[in-house]
Amino acid sequence: MAKIRCALIGSGNIGTDLIYKLRRSDVLEPVWMVGIDPDSEGLKRAAGMGLKTTAEGVDGLLPHVLADNIQIAFDATSAYVHAENSRKLNALGVMMIDLTPAAIGPLCVPPVNLKQHTAKLEMNVNMISCAGQATIPIVHAVSRIQSVEYAEIVATLASKSVGPGTRANLDEFTYTTSDALVAVGGARRGKALAVINPAEPPMIMRNTVYCLTDDEPDEARIIASVREMIGEVQKYVPGYRLVNGPVFDGKRVAVFLEVAGLGDYLPTYAGNLDIMTAAATRTAEMFAEEILAGSLKLPTPQEA
Amino acid sequence: MSFPNLKGRKVLIHDMCLRDGMHAKREQISLDQMVKLASALDEAGVPMLQVTHGAGLGGNSIQHGFAPHTNEAYISAVAGVVKRATISVLLIPGLGTMRELDSAYNCGARSVHVATHCTEADTAQQHIAHGRKLGMDTSGFLMMSHLNSPEGLVAQGKLMESYGAQTIYVTDSAGYMLPDDVTARVSALRDALKPETEIGFHGHHNLGMGIANSIAAIAAGASRIDASVAGLGAGAGNTPLEVFVAVCERMGLETGCDLFGLMDMAEDIVVPMMDHMVRVTREALTLGFAGVYSTFLLHAKRAETRYGVPARDILVELGRKKMIGGQEDMIEDTALTMAKARGIKVSHAA
């Protein structure tokens, strides 16, 4: 079966893990890895896995986009350079999956709103953050039952799984995730908290979701909705698991989750890495299926 | 221990009543109480006082509890009454943000503790730089310092110094350290940091070592000490400020504070506002003994009430699982898991 050819921009933890995820896909093929440091581990590993590589940033990729028929790119660089990367690649007809906190395109959480984005032929969709991918489905699972006045999430990540980009830009992570609890989760207000824990052996990613409902929570319906949603996420992140809850305290609903990864690039504790790359892959696959079926045509490239 | 050469050394005292003390009051200090405490501290010559939610900027949350007022309201109210003291705030990246620091500055805060776990200094780069850009007195605050070696702490302190921090704090969040632990860490930092970079120590009194540890820190080269009148703070409280000032006077250390004024404040204002006596209770001692974050204390007691698992058992388990500051959600989660394992029926649980 034909596959849609993809470029990965950013050779850090996320970009490298994406190689493994894409190689497992029936409809996606990783072709290019773009970095900025010729000596980086990520570029060497990508080359070793058979990808074409450039250390000259996105500009090193642009001359090859048409010849190599690149149709989807994943950007795992930083919020600061994403807009420029996206503009250059969109101009060549390449659809962009944004894994930075830039969020210039619509926010995407696959089990909540992916279908809307494919229907609209969005050329840039944003994957929010690992914490957003892990918690927004649950906020949505509550808000689709009854209105949520406030949603708050706490994501705890193993220190070894958090790369330098996230560390240097924690505020962007906080803002993007908080906004998405509202925009995608359906709460009226949202707040995201992140904790980085250095324990050895590293702890598996944990997420706690709190929702304050406007009226007394309908416990039975919320429990059923949350369980159904967990099943949806497990379709692309098998290690997504309910540890405790939902527990109810007045109008507060609390759900305690754990996310184990597949152990592709980083060990299984780095569920934060997996839920981001798996969600991005799931998103790209949905677009790819539409492209392959002919129901979605990417715009004709303009010369950059 | 012998400290022969401390006479005449200056110590900058930083009060924690109005920030760490919020933890001991379940974040329920009124604006009137804040103003009264701040005025008394200012009058007694305490040069710096910290004002925010117990968890700092951005602290108002389900995770950390809601105070009756915003941080901005507290800071503005205190700024309106203090004449000499500098107002500081706490900012923990991942919880508080630079937008909130801007807002605190606009309300009158001029100093900030930018706090990270003792191994994660590189999450504070943008916040420390921002504090400096605002012209604030900016400290890097290495929480749970007992969980890093002196060499490891030096590496983290140097990172914070490179981002612009003017003071690096050894922070004994669990009240676990003994004077030798403090000496080792402060001396290592003193040797490695620039001479103009100050060193601070923030103690908790869970093993009754607040004063002794603070003196050890000064002897090893620290010049700033966090303390709290009547110890009002998380766990068994912070280093009791008035006791520390008395010890400094006896040793010839200069604090510039009025001892009798502080004694009166402790007895007449702070102790009467306590919801529980801040002292080394069974659970607070467990924190110090097991090396657990002091703020977990009241959360664990609430979980005990709700789920029937003793607070001490929960705290020991949190220590075993190496939970750190900010993971208050894991207290309820751990209590739920322990209740299940013990066959305790939890109402409302799915």
Q: Parse chain A into domains and list their residue ranges.
A: 4-127+277-292, 130-269
Nearest C-alpha neighbor of A260 from the set A283, A282, A233, A226: A233
Report if residue B279 sits inside a domain.
no
Report if residue B288 sits inside a domain.
no
Active site residues of B: 23
**A 204-223 residues with CB below 8 A of B?**
206, 208, 210, 212, 219, 223
From chain B, pick out residues whose CB is under 8 angstroms from the CB of A217.
none
Q: Measured between CB atoms, does A195 come within 8 Å of chain B?
A: yes
pLDDT (tens digit, 9 = 90+) per residue, A85-124? Answer: 999 999 999 999 999 988 899 999 999 998 888 888 789 9
Q: Is-contact B219 B6, C-beta < 8 A?
A: yes
Q: Write down which residue in B273, B306, B323 finishes a domain.
A: B273
Residue of B62, B127, B326 lying closest to A195 (CB–CB) = B326
Q: Measured between CB atoms, does A198 come within 8 Å of chain B?
A: yes
Q: Is-contact B183 B220, C-beta < 8 A?
A: yes
Within this chain, do residues B210 and B62 fall inside the same structural domain, yes or no?
yes
| A174·B63 Cβ contact <8 A | no
Q: Which domain holds residue B320?
A: 295-341
| CATH classification at residue B70 | 3.20.20.70
Q: How far apart are CA A284 and CA A264, in angstroms?
A: 19
Query: How many domains does the structure of chain B reveal?
Result: 2
Structure tokens at B319: 């220590």
Superfamily name with CATH number, domain A4-127+277-292: NAD(P)-binding Rossmann-like Domain (3.40.50.720)
Report if residue B4 sits inside a domain.
no
Written in H, E and C, the secondary structure of B6-70 is CCCCECEEEECCCCHHHHHCCCCCCHHHHHHHHHHHHHCCCCEEECCCCCCCCCCECCCECCCCC
- Fold classification of A130-269 is Dihydrodipicolinate Reductase; domain 2 (3.30.360)
From chain A, pick out residues whose CB is under 8 angstroms from the CB of B349.
244-245, 247
Structure tokens at A301: 């490239």
pLDDT by residue for chain B (350 residues), tens only, comes to: 566 679 999 999 999 999 999 999 999 999 999 999 999 999 999 999 999 999 999 999 999 999 999 999 999 999 999 999 999 999 999 999 999 999 999 999 999 999 999 999 999 999 999 999 999 999 999 999 999 999 999 999 999 999 999 999 999 999 999 999 999 999 999 999 999 999 999 999 999 999 999 999 999 999 999 999 999 999 999 999 999 999 999 999 999 999 999 999 999 999 999 999 999 999 899 999 999 998 898 999 999 999 999 999 999 999 999 999 999 999 999 999 999 999 987 765 44
pLDDT (tens digit, 9 = 90+) per residue, B311-328? Answer: 999 999 999 999 999 999
pLDDT (tens digit, 9 = 90+) per residue, A24-54? Answer: 999 999 999 999 999 999 999 999 999 999 9
Within this chain, do residues B165 and B267 fall inside the same structural domain, yes or no?
yes
Q: How far apart are CA A232 and CA A45, in angstroms?
A: 32
Report if residue B130 sits inside a domain.
yes
Q: What is the pLDDT of residue B349?
A: 46
CA dihedral of B205, B206, B209, B210, whole degrees rounded to 10: -20
Mutate to test the interface with B, among A195, A226, A255 (most CBs of B within 10 A): A195
Report if residue B207 sits inside a domain.
yes
Q: What is the pLDDT of residue B163?
A: 98
Distance, in angstroms, between A57 CA and closest chain B CA? 24
pTM: 0.93
Structure tokens at A128: 């929010």
Q: How far apart are CA A36 and CA A30, in angstroms?
A: 18
Q: What is the pLDDT of residue A304?
A: 44
Within this chain, do residues B188 and B302 fall inside the same structural domain, yes or no?
no
Question: Pairing between strand B86-91 and B48-50?
Answer: parallel
Q: Taking all residues of chain A, what is their mean pLDDT, rounded to a whole number? A: 93
Q: Measured between CB atoms, does A299 come within 8 Å of chain B?
A: no
